[in-house]
Structure 1
Amino acid sequence: MENPIIQLNGLSKHYGSKKAVENLSLKINKGEIFGLLGPNGAGKTTTILMMLGLSEPTSGEALVCGINATNNPIAVKRKVGYMPDNVGFYDNMTALENLMYIGRLSGIPEEKIAVKARETMELVGLGDELYKKTGAYSRGMKQRLALADLLIREPEVMILDEPTLGIDPAGIKEFLVLIRQLSRQQGLTVLLSSHHLHQMQQICDRVGIFVEGQLLMEGNIDTLSGNLFGKESYVIQVTVREPLANAQALQQELQQLEHVNKAATSEYGVELSCSQDITPDIVRFFVHKGLNVTGVQKKEYGLDEIYQRFFENNAKKHVQ
């Protein structure tokens, strides 16, 4: 059910003749992880600043938790936790001291701060690093501490701008898993801004392709894949032990199956282009025919292929 907690209506930001964001309309539902995907300079950070009430739009409005961010930015800040791409802490203080200081600034009663800070650091996996000075923290540990910084304020929405920048691959995977767990466990809405396609695919419920200030496509991976690849969203390759007999008849029969768009046979197998993932049905078909299946490979179009096809299609339009 649609339950928008972030709603952008015709949001635009112009700097003279430059259109940083142009007529952006978007709804993000409660508890959803939405990825704003685009190259550097696409307008993602400008959009975030308008959502936080830190930059006034040229036109349109940004509603966060039902609050107009331009008219009432303080109220929005009470509802939203924001992690910029470069988070700073007091390096000569321990992580716990940093978090307790943030708790005081957020109005948490003094008698509750220490317990809440410890619990929050446990939640983000820093329970054994409470007393280490943040100057000795790695980039990945600082990002976890930044999450704790957000969580101690008990936000309804988290906005993360390039949160995995500078983290090693193993740390990135752990960090993304943590964000997803927090979103699911606490019902947090997460807006994630990034240009890293593979990372966005791992974590997001929906993504929007954002280019030159405009949201050009949005949806889940299946929707975007279907829009760009049509009936060829899945490619399934099946190999068999013995050469195929009556390959042409087999090909025609396969093409009659539901969701199969095209079938091409070779001596030892078949490749099918399908609109849905029907791998189990295809394997059962081969087994029913008495064919000895030796291998099955499936290719799904992910964000990398979607992104590439999207720009290929747009380049063709400009050429025409």
Structure 2
Amino acid sequence: MSTPVIEISDLTKKYGSYTAVDKLNLSIEKGEVFGLLGPNGAGKSTTILMLMGLSESDSGSVKVCNIDPERNPINVKQKVGYLPEDVGFYDDLTGFENLMYTARLNSVSGIEAQKRSLQLLERVGLSEDMHKKAGKYSRGMRQRLGLADVLIKNPEVIILDEPTLGIDPTGVKAFLELIVQLSKQDGITVLFSSHHLHQVQQVCDRVGIFVKGKLLAEGNVDSLAKQLFNSGAYTIEVGLAANGNSEKTTLLNKVKNIETVESVQVEGDIWRIECTQDISNQISKTIIDSGVGLSHLYKKEYGLDDIYHRYFEGGNEDE
């Protein structure tokens, strides 16, 4: 079994009596896009600071690329690229000149620095604006230049802290597509901190739910739904034909006996079936085979918006 690229064990950080990160345990594999999801003050940024060796923990341990960031912060920074929500550049330098400057800071030779800079500007869609002053770049262009900036040293891990704030929808789409490419094509591990639910669900392989410094649950969206909801992870609504009441009684018992079905709510000819797996095909076949007409079938899967409501708006923050 491979060693995780990021491995956190019982990590805790306090500011006086306030616990910002509370016994965090987390493991992230190579090439994975992991989303840190939570409201402001949940502990996401504090965790990132400790991963980068920019803040010391009070207890626990953290390894990034098998390096302890507290003991070897310089070594970690050679392996990790960090993109904050507000990227700083020399505004009087062009995009190309800013990348060249970063390359030299990371001991990349002149010819190689130029080659990488041109390649990355092409990749992030800034080739036509490479000679424009960075101070004239839009918010979206600055974030794309920021992504090129963190990639100039060929990092194994990139950490993105609210990277899409203030970017228009078209820019966000292009930016997120780049993130997926870096993960799938280049094998770069991505830690994506955000409270934008749709974006996290769109690009992340797994998600960690942060509330008040604690990681309440982690996994892909399906597994999170199973962890966070008492009912099934899927709700399948079916509409039945308005006839055959005797057949419906028999059908109801058959549906209830299907494996993974947890409950059936009957409201006239509308049935809402809660189950732990997507068994819509089996349910529709059971209905049709029973001789009862099927007028419609609708499958609801819990997404991150439901999870957000469950924990951040639904009153369970203190659980």
In the TM superposition, what is the alpha-carbon distance from 1:263 to its structure 2 partner? 2.4
The 1-side partners of 2:140 and 2:46 are apart by 25
Q: Distance in 1 between matches of 2:284 and 2:19?
A: 52
CA distance in structure 2 between the partners assigned to 1:316 and 1:77 by the alignment: 36
Hey, what does 1:272 align to over in structure 2? 273
Indicate yes or no: 2:304 matched with 1:303.
yes
Shift of 1:93: 2.1
* Deviation (angstroms), 1:128: 2.9
**1:194 is aligned with what amino acid?**
S
Mapped to 2, the partners of 1:15 and 1:316 lie a distance apart of 20
* Alignment match, 1:282: 283
Task: Confirm or deny: 8 A CA contact 2:93 2:133 kept in the other structure.
Answer: yes
Over 3 Å counting, the alpha-carbon distance change for 1:316 and 1:185 in structure 2 is: closer
**AA paired with 1:183?**
S
1:257 matched residue in structure 2: 258
TM-score (norm 2): 0.91
> Which stretch shifts more, 73-82 or 172-181?
172-181
Matches within 5 A, 1:20-39: 20-39=20-39
| Counterpart residue identity of residue 314, structure 1 | N
Note closer, same or farther for the CA distance 1:181–1:288 as it changes in structure 2 (3 Å cut). Answer: farther
Change (3 A) 1:281 1:65: same
**Could you report, residue by residue, the CA deviation over 1:198-250 in whole angstroms, capped at 9, with x for unpaired residues?**
2211111111121222222222212221122244211111235x414132222
Cα shift at 1:285: 2.9
- Give 1:251 deviation, angstroms: 1.4
TM-score (norm: length of structure 1): 0.91
What is residue 158 of structure 1 aligned with on the other side? 158
Preserved contact between residue 37 and residue 193 of structure 1 (Cα < 8 Å): yes
CA–CA distance in structure 1, aligned partners of residues 262 and 130 of structure 2: 57
Find the aligned partners of 1:166 and 1:284 in 2 and give their Cα distance.
48
CA contact (8 A) 2:13 2:59 kept: yes
The answer on 1:185 being equivalent to 2:196 is no
Preserved CA contact (<8 Å) 1:244 1:267: no
SS at match of 2:129: coil
Query: 1:291 Cα deviation (Å)?
Result: 5.1
How many pairs align?
316
Aligned partner letter, 1:113: A
Tell me if structure 2 keeps the 8 A contact 1:244–1:269. Answer: no
Q: How does 1:117-266 map to 2 (within 5 A)?
A: 117-240=117-240, 242-245=241-244, 246-266=247-267
Residue 217 of structure 1: SS of its match in structure 2? strand
Task: Name the structure 2 match of 1:90.
Answer: 90
Further displaced range: 298-307 or 68-77:
298-307
Identity of aligned residues (%): 52
Unaligned stretches of 5+ in structure 2?
none
Q: Is the alpha carbon distance of 1:59 and 1:315 closer, same or farther for their aligned partners in structure 2, counting shifts above 3 Å? A: closer
**Structure 1 residue identity aligned to 2:248:** A
**SS of match in other structure, 2:167:** coil
Once residues 316 and 40 of structure 1 are traced to their aligned partners in structure 2, the CA distance between those partners, rounded to angstroms, is 16
Q: Which moved more, 1:53-62 or 1:121-130?
A: 121-130
The secondary structure found in structure 2 opposite 1:232 is coil
Please report how far the alpha carbon of residue 267 of structure 1 lies from its aligned counterpart in structure 2 after TM superposition: 4.7
Contact 2:251/2:287, CA 8 A, preserved across alignment: no
For the aligned residues, what is the CA RMSD? 2.0
- The amino acid of 1:257's aligned partner reads I
What's the CA shift string for 1:270-301, capped at 9, x where partnerless? Answer: 32111111122223333434555443221111
CA separation of 1:238 and 1:3: change in aligned 2, threshold 3 A: farther
Q: What residue number does 1:47 align with?
A: 47
Distance 1:233 1:313, change over 3 A: farther
User: 3-state DSSP class of the match of 2:185?
Assistant: helix
Partner Cα separation in structure 1 for residue 174 and residue 299 of structure 2: 27
Q: In the alignment, residue 279 of structure 2 is paired with which amino acid?
A: I
What 5-or-longer segments of structure 1 have no aligned partner? none
User: Which stretch of structure 1 is more off in the superposition, 213-222 or 48-57?
Assistant: 213-222
Q: Is the 8 Å Cα contact of residues 30 and 189 (structure 1) preserved in structure 2?
A: yes
